[in-house]
Structure 1
Amino acid sequence: MDTDDSPWEDNATNVRDSEWSKISSDFLNAGYREGITAGKESALQAGFDEGFAETGAPIGRSIGLMRGYISSIIAFLSSGRSLPSGVDAGQLLGEARAISGALGDVRFSDIAPPDLEAEMHAREHLGEDAADVVTSEELQEKKDMESLEDLMNRMGAGSSSRGQEKRATMDDVKSLQTRLSVLAQTLGLSLPLP
């Protein structure tokens, strides 16, 4: 009997080929998963960088500057320093506090432009069910939490948002910016508002 015709030899070759195929397949799958993960991480970082630079930072900076300016004006008006003649400090202080309270109620999620790319992606994956998709699940959870915070604030004493049911919009922020600018001009200040 020839050793090449041995049933043990055929079985060993089959096992070796089978093991090689399994190992090769396992490495291929692992490499594929690592490639997908690396691709997602890369796209996620690029998306974060773009969103931060084009949306988050400019909006945050603008609101932060306005809050800082109005806080300084409130401190100045509360200090009792003399004002230009004909200027009612009490009225200006009331306006400054109203602006400050309104700025405190501004939420990023309310004034940030919609993420059209994320909405389009959701529509692609949800098909017909995506007709009502307007926010991501994460953003909706954040808005729900902010609504709860607003409710808690309205329950607190002296809340600026007492009775406020409407959320701020970018138009509201622009209106507050105009009011702040007028207030500053009344005091003889020139604020470099964004």
Structure 2
Amino acid sequence: MTCDNKHMEEDVWGGSDDELDTKQRDKEWNKMEDRYMDEGYREGISFGKESHLQSGFDEGYTVGVVYGREYGRLRAFANQTLSLLAGNDNGADNGLVERARNLVGSVGRVGAQQILPKDIEAIEHAREHEQAEQAATHKSKISFNEELGGERGRQRDIDHITAELDRLGEAVDGRVLLDGLWMELRLLVTESATLRPLLDSL
């Protein structure tokens, strides 16, 4: 075999054996490196999510238990007050019974979103998504909402989201709401001789 033939043979087969081995090793190394980087990235994201979820749960649980326990006590005392007033055979004052019913109704209508502290971070996050959604719908010529309800349908959705975010942002402070209900209960208890023994428990 002449030099030209040997050179042509190397070109046809892609190079010498050493070059092929080096290329193969590099290719396998890159593939393995990519695979482990991907796995490490996924594990890092999973770990990050888990740690944030756990800390968020711990924080929410701590706050929720405090407010939940207090709300449970308030509800129990309000119901006990109504029960004692309504079951009083000594001619309970109908005005006090009605006030107790109203208090029980008011306490019963209180929802978690009203007594728990506002999650400012979640509200801001929702606003960011709303703004991103508005920007995205302005960029596209036809959005999903426009296909379903036209421009008015999309605007209704945006108005609804905006109103809901505003309502969340202006929610009554839970502490103020609970304190007001406790005050009403204490006033009710002090006005009835039957209920005065409960004052020490409140």
- Report TM bin, short chain: 0.5 to 0.7
Match of 2:148 in 1: none
Secondary structure at the aligned position of 2:34 is classed as helix
CA distance in 2: counterparts of 1:169 and 1:100, whole angstroms: 20
What code does the residue aligned with 1:67 have? R
2:117·2:173 contact (CA, 8 Å) conserved in 1?
Answer: no
Residue 25 (structure 1) aligns with:
34
- Of 23, 32, 37, the residue aligned with 2:46 is 37
Q: TM-score, normalised by structure 1?
A: 0.64
Residue equivalent to 2:73: 65
Shift, 1:22, TM fit: 0.9
What value does the CA root-mean-square deviation take over the aligned residues?
A: 3.2
The superposition leaves residues 24-49 of structure 1 with CA deviations (integer Å, 9 ceiling, x where unpaired) of 21112111211121122112111221
CA contact 1:99–1:180 (8 Å) conserved in 2 = yes
Q: Which has the larger radius of gyration?
A: 2
Q: Are 2:57 and 1:48 equivalent residues in the alignment?
A: yes
116, 121, 137: which one aligns with 1:117 = 121
The alpha-carbon deviation at position 121 of structure 1 amounts to 5.6
Unaligned runs of 5+ in 2: 1-5, 7-14, 133-160, 166-170
Aligned positions, number: 150
Matches within 5 A, 1:73-112: 73-82=81-90, 88-112=92-116
The structural deviation recorded for 1:114 is 1.9
Measure, in 2, the Cα distance between the counterparts of 1:43 and 1:28.
22
TM-score for both structures, normalised by structure 2: 0.61
1:129 aligns with 2:131: yes
Q: Which has the higher helix share?
A: 2
Structure 1's unaligned 5+ residue stretches are 131-139, 145-166
